[in-house]
Amino acid sequence: MSTLDAVLAHIDRDIDHSVERLFALLRIASVSTDPAFAGQCRAAAEHVAADLGTIGFDASVRPTAGHPVVVGKSNGVKAPHVLFYGHYDVQPVDPLNLWKTPPFEPRIDTLPDGRKIIVARGSCDDKGQFMTFIEACRAYKTVTGKLPLNVTAMIEGEEECGSKNLPGFVRDNAAELKADLALVCDTAMWDANTPAITTSLRGLIYEEVKITCADRDLHSGQFGGAAQNPIRLLAKVLGAMWDDNNRVTIPGFYDGVDDLPADIKADLAALGLTEETFLGPIGLKHSAGEKGRLLIEQITTRPTAEINGIIGGYTGEGAKTVIPGEASAKVSFRLVGRQDPGKIKEAFRQFVRARLPDDCKVEFGNFGAGAALQLSFDNPALTKAREVLGEEWGKKAVTVGAGGSIPIVSDFKSVLGMDALMVGFALDDDRVHSPNEKFDLKCFHKGIRSWARIIDALAQG
Amino acid sequence: MSTLDAVLAHIDRDIDHSVERLFALLRIASVSTDPAFAGQCRAAAEHVAADLGTIGFDASVRPTAGHPVVVGKSNGVKAPHVLFYGHYDVQPVDPLNLWKTPPFEPRIDTLPDGRKIIVARGSCDDKGQFMTFIEACRAYKTVTGKLPLNVTAMIEGEEECGSKNLPGFVRDNAAELKADLALVCDTAMWDANTPAITTSLRGLIYEEVKITCADRDLHSGQFGGAAQNPIRLLAKVLGAMWDDNNRVTIPGFYDGVDDLPADIKADLAALGLTEETFLGPIGLKHSAGEKGRLLIEQITTRPTAEINGIIGGYTGEGAKTVIPGEASAKVSFRLVGRQDPGKIKEAFRQFVRARLPDDCKVEFGNFGAGAALQLSFDNPALTKAREVLGEEWGKKAVTVGAGGSIPIVSDFKSVLGMDALMVGFALDDDRVHSPNEKFDLKCFHKGIRSWARIIDALAQG
């Protein structure tokens, strides 16, 4: 029996304990975007560091201006050297009333089709995912006494709110963190049976905008017809961001956005993603994206504008005839290609300012401005990973772009000179960022096995 | 000394007790639009009925499908007969954090310019106002043993949320409620020194609209660029309600809206209301109303559309990259002239439906649909009231339209055949419907004296 076979067999025998260890982490409500959960974020960091310690890593909790970063070093062989990146923070849970069970009380459930799932906030994004790698390392350590790779693990706590402090942390600790390759487990399968390697990520700009008109809330009979209404302004200004072809109208928005080469586009079209298969499961029929684009382009290689939240005026039960003094919205943009985050952020702010009367005020806040990332198809790690994923799943891995963003992966390239191998086991129906988030037990189990295979392939050089 | 002089002198001597009696009513949190306060609304009704009883009225609390109506009868002389209308319910208090002191703990404060004010939710709208009439009645009863008018008081509990059950109550009790004239104290002075008689009211339609797209909240990276966003739809649809001249674009909206006769328009223009004097105190400079209209037209004789509230997606601290499944708004319309509330409500709903993709759902709710009201300038009661108000305030009363709505006053005309004399003592800076609502003590005191004079003038026939 090869080492790999022994490790895989151990993973299978120990899967219930792996699930227990994941549950312990899932119980910690490490919501990064809300300051009320700062203590839980710290607790999660300490838990991860302690867990890495149990498999022989030198691990510590490193402070930042925000939530801490966990750095662990395997302290065994020197090469090949990989930097594994994950995040212990999770999305907010709201709306809480739509969760069937409490979001931080993890449980196993069985779907009507017989699939077993792990249900909790973070079960997929990212705790379940990064634990597939940790558990693979644990299996190696348990079976062979060591890891065949030099692993530095960097598990941060602010990915869900823009990783604001991480670029600085990476720069400040570049010598310690630089490796031959970055590994990331925070992306998706192509479908439940087909693994994927993610070769591009969209960038993300996240803005908050607050418009203030009168210095207080007003009676809409007394002042209606004369007083400016900030909700009306917000609706008009934000609504103007798209034209009738669903293209974003902000000046310069499409600078740096290239059309796909014909062959790549043909490959993507051949994957056969349709409105029915993609939108049907969420109760929609028609794409709201740029007219004239393939659906797969719209969700991976085209940029977007989005209103993530809006609030103003009276939102309680019944009626209140008020003209509010202020209204706010959260607006984000997914970037592709060479779009410049700083320029687009300024162009958005100018777009808003230009449409406001001079007696109204606007305030902006920013929660991130990261560029898109395109990885090379030539990387030997990618070729090896494709092969061993095929061995695990019985189907060749698809190479595809992701619609989402992982801000720090760009810095791995620009600051540390590293490519990233992004392999993940999420499914489209995992409800990440939604109530009742889940992770298929099969994805967790085979994810651990997949990383064991990838570690073995990378170690062989 | 005439009877009137004796009554006025008593009002002056008893003003502190009048304020105490008002405070007792202000302490009851009779918020009608929120079902959580139903018990307090009932308590307020019982309080008012008991108070009317202390001045010799036969008063009772009459049930409706919602909050009860108080009906009291003075049981003295038979004629002239007036129906006094007021409301014991108040607006919600939110945002609570902007109140300097608790909204249901009334207090006297002194403004920097020396004016004494009564501060509480309802201090002006409508408890302080209707108590000016009750206290005038009390003064007559105390000084002379009787009222010189036959007074039926009808004090309802749902005015702030559309008086839904009152039209039916008025119809069902028409014989009991019909009088020669309706009296209403829920409108404003022209300015702090100039009384006003309100001769028109705008109508009010209040709608709630909820748009649903996906069947759950979505990850904006995974689905962004394809999934429809209900906040974007709501912004585009509601933003489309106004053109660049700030006219409402809903088809048929201006049917039944007439231009003012040239002479009336000239009279209104001569009142000299400017953007500086009207909008300056609330921190604005420019009217947002229909271009080409006088400011006073925009706030009294032109119709409006307004977004009173909007909510959707993530509105907490920080960032959440979500595409929500639904978004809602509260939308209201002030009506004038012969605009048909039912037609406009349907036109609005059709306006929204026509702009939605067929895979999105919309739900509407209604909280009122009442027409505008124009009163006759020929009414002898109006002439008398103008004269005696001039005696109290030292300046002739202005006759002007109100921007707001009092839904039941139209029914007084159509069901009970009565005109309404609407005299009120609110000031533009009373912050009705806002935090820190106030009523000037001078307005309360001179308001009681004003009603005493009006009662005297009406009684003389």
Parse chain B into domains and list their residue ranges. Answer: 3-201+373-459, 203-257+303-370
Q: Is the pLDDT of residue B405 over 80?
A: yes
Helices A127-144 and A441-459: crossing angle in degrees, nearest 10, is 50
Cα–Cα distance for residue pair B151/B70, rounded to 1 Å: 13
Q: What pLDDT is recorded for position B433? A: 85
Query: B364 with B209: CB under 8 angstroms?
Result: yes
Size of interface A-B (CB pairs under 8 A): 360
Ranking A361-370, B43-52, B224-233 by mean pLDDT, the lowest is A361-370
ipTM, interface predicted TM-score of the complex? 0.85
Average per-residue pLDDT in chain B?
Answer: 95
Q: What pLDDT is recorded for position B439? A: 98
Q: Quick one: closest CA in B to A368, which residue?
A: B319
Please report the beta strands in B16-97, taking only residues with DSSP state E, as ranges in sequence order. 58-62, 69-73, 81-87
- Look at residues B193, B290, B310, B202 and name the one whose alpha carbon lies nearest to residue B247: B290
Share of chain B above pLDDT 90, in %: 88
Q: What pLDDT is recorded for position B264? A: 83
Interface contact B218-A434, CB threshold 8 A: yes
Interface contact B312-A315, CB threshold 8 A: no
Query: Is A107 exposed, middle or buried, given 0-12, 13-18 or 19+ CB atoms closer than 10 A?
Result: middle
Tell me the C-alpha to C-alpha distance, in Å, between residue A347 and each of A233, A286, A333, A351, B346. Answer: 18, 29, 12, 6, 39
DSSP B204-218: EEEEEEEEE-SSS-E
User: CB distance from B353 to chain A under 8 Å?
Assistant: no
Residue range B90-97: mean pLDDT, rounded: 92
- Look at residues A38, A132, A41 and name the one whose alpha carbon lies nearest to residue A84: A132
Q: What pLDDT is recorded for position A123? A: 98
Q: Is the pLDDT of residue A461 over 80?
A: no
User: CB distance from B38 to chain A under 8 Å?
Assistant: no
Interface contact B221-A404, CB threshold 8 A: yes
Tell me the C-alpha to C-alpha distance, in Å, between residue A241 and each of A204, A332, A351, B12, B232. Answer: 17, 12, 9, 61, 9
The single residue listed with the structure tokens 């069985």 is A110
Interface contact A320-B234, CB threshold 8 A: no
Interface contact A290-B324, CB threshold 8 A: no
Residue range B372-378: mean pLDDT, rounded: 85
Interface contact A226-B35, CB threshold 8 A: no
Interface contact A311-B311, CB threshold 8 A: yes
* Amino acid found at A244: D
Q: What pLDDT is recorded for position B29? A: 98
Ranking A158-172, A285-299, B167-181 by mean pLDDT, the lowest is A158-172
Strand partners of residue B311: A311, B328
Domain A203-257+303-370 is of which CATH architecture? 2-Layer Sandwich (3.30)
Given its phi and psi angles, is residue A337 left (phi above 0), alpha (psi -120 to 50 degrees) or beta? left
User: CB distance from A283 to chain B under 8 Å?
Assistant: yes
Query: B457 with B423: CB under 8 angstroms?
Result: no
User: CB distance from B228 to chain A under 8 Å?
Assistant: yes
Query: Class assignment of domain A3-201+373-459?
Result: alpha beta
Q: Is the pLDDT of residue A287 over 90?
A: yes
Order of strands across the sheet that contains A116-119: A107-110, A116-119, A438-440
Q: What is the pTM of this model?
A: 0.85
Q: What pLDDT is recorded for position B268? A: 87
Q: For strand A116-119 and strand A438-440, is the pairing parallel, antiparallel, or unpaired?
A: antiparallel
Residues of B in contact with A302 (CB under 8 A): 225
- Look at residues A50, A57, A78, A71 and name the one whose alpha carbon lies nearest to residue A174: A71
- Look at residues B434, B127, B209, B176 and name the one whose alpha carbon lies nearest to residue A323: B434
Residues 6+ positions from A81 with CB-CB distance below 8 Å: A149, A150, A151, A152, A179, A180, A181
Count other C-beta atoms under 10 Å from residue B249's C-beta: 11
* Amino acid found at A287: S
* Amino acid found at A189: M
Interface contact A224-B319, CB threshold 8 A: no
User: CB distance from B292 to chain A under 8 Å?
Assistant: no
**Prior bond to A126 cis, omega within 30?**
yes
Average per-residue pLDDT in chain A?
Answer: 95
Cα–Cα distance for residue pair B251/B350, rounded to 1 Å: 9
User: CB distance from A97 to chain B under 8 Å?
Assistant: no
Strand partners of residue B323: B218
Q: Is the pLDDT of residue B292 over 80?
A: yes
Tell me the C-alpha to C-alpha distance, in Å, between residue B248 and each of A34, B310, B334, B351. Answer: 40, 19, 11, 11
Closest CB to B298: pick one of A215, A226, A290.
Answer: A226
- Look at residues A103, A384, A314, A116 and name the one whose alpha carbon lies nearest to residue B161: A314
Q: Tally the C-alpha atoms within 13 A of residue A122's C-alpha that lie toward its C-beta.
A: 31
Ranking A270-274, B286-290, B295-299, B307-311 by mean pLDDT, the lowest is A270-274
User: CB distance from A313 to chain B under 8 Å?
Assistant: yes
Structure tokens at A96: 């809480």
State the nearest Cα–Cα gap between B170 and chain A, in angstroms: 22
Residue range B28-32: mean pLDDT, rounded: 97
Residue range B349-360: mean pLDDT, rounded: 98
Residue range B103-121: mean pLDDT, rounded: 97
pLDDT 10s digits, B160-199: 888 889 999 999 999 999 999 999 999 999 999 999 999 9
Q: Is the pLDDT of residue B461 over 80?
A: no
Q: Is the pLDDT of residue B91 over 90?
A: yes
- Give the angle A210-A211-A216 at the CA atoms, nearest 5°: 110
Residue range A199-228: mean pLDDT, rounded: 95
pLDDT 10s digits, A387-433: 999 999 999 899 989 998 887 898 999 899 999 999 999 998 999 88
Structure tokens at A116: 């077993």
Q: What pLDDT is recorded for position A261? A: 85
Query: B419 with B83: CB under 8 angstroms?
Result: no
Q: What pLDDT is recorded for position B143? A: 98
Interface contact B220-A314, CB threshold 8 A: no
Q: Is the pLDDT of residue B307 over 90?
A: yes
Structure tokens at B291: 């271009």
